[in-house]
Amino acid sequence: MRAKEWNVRLELTEDGDDTSARAELVTDDGVEVTGQGRARRNPSDPSVPMIGDELAASRALADLAEQLALTTRRDIASSVETSAPNRSW
């Protein structure tokens, strides 16, 4: 059995009350999948940068998961003659 390790690189950028996140996965086979996320602090909320980081990161990772699922559905559809059901994992 061969073990595989996939790493996700998460980049956070803050600009005032806005935080952007980019999550990038590169598989052993060189497949690249990217997710994006953003968070904006409500002016009435206290300034806690960690919360914006967490929210933007979670949104980027959720987008990455959706992009990976979309890639998987395409790969399944192209590898079989019958259409695969469209499921959300």
Which residues have C-beta within 8 Å of that of residue 3, sequence separation ≥ 6?
A: none
In tens, the pLDDT along 26-79 reads 988 888 999 999 999 888 888 888 899 999 999 999 999 999 999 889 989 998
Q: What is the phi/psi pair of residue 23, to 5°?
A: -110, 125
Q: What pTM was estimated for this model as a whole?
A: 0.81
CB 32 within 8 A of CB 67: no
CB 61 within 8 A of CB 37: yes
> Which residue's structure tokens are 């959300």?
88
Name the β-bridge partners of 36. 22
Residue 50 CA to residue 52 CA, distance in Å, equals: 5
